Amino acid sequence: MTTNSSHLDMLAEAFGLSRLPKSVRDALLEEIDVLVFRSVLFRVMVNLDEDDKEELHDILEHAGDDFEKPYTFLNSKVKDFEKIVKDELMKVKNESLELVQQFA
């Protein structure tokens, strides 16, 4: 996974991971980033026309683990994309907290 440090810092802050050892923090952030990315994708796909969906598909095929390219593309195509990302981040966070509480 390749994302910019401010993005990872935002995730670490949201999930309270800043104080963990770097190796543990990075592993958790990678998993969280994938969950948030998938959640965002599911939510925004309905907002894309067929050409944009094809372009996104091509970007995803070539991006590998680099989420910056798809995020940049989606930000240019989807109204209120940053808000959607924040909403989905909070959704994943809340669902994770609920899961942890079930097992506590």
pLDDT mean by block of 10 residues, the chain; 104 residues: 63 81 86 90 94 96 84 94 92 84 72
**Two tokens, residue 9:** 């810092």
Amino acid at 24: V
**Two tokens, residue 44:** 């925004």
- pLDDT for 99: 77
Among candidate residues 65, 74, 75, 72, the one with its CA nearest the CA of residue 33: 65
- pLDDT for 76: 95
Could you count the other beta carbons within 10 Å of the beta carbon of residue 93?
Answer: 17
- pLDDT for 8: 74
- pLDDT for 83: 95
Burial of 36 (0-12, 13-18, 19+ CB in 10 A): buried
Among candidate residues 40, 50, 43, 29, the one with its CA nearest the CA of residue 96: 29
* Residue showing tokens 């935002």: 10
Assess contact for 94 and 60: CB atoms under 8 A.
no
Assess contact for 29 and 14: CB atoms under 8 A.
no
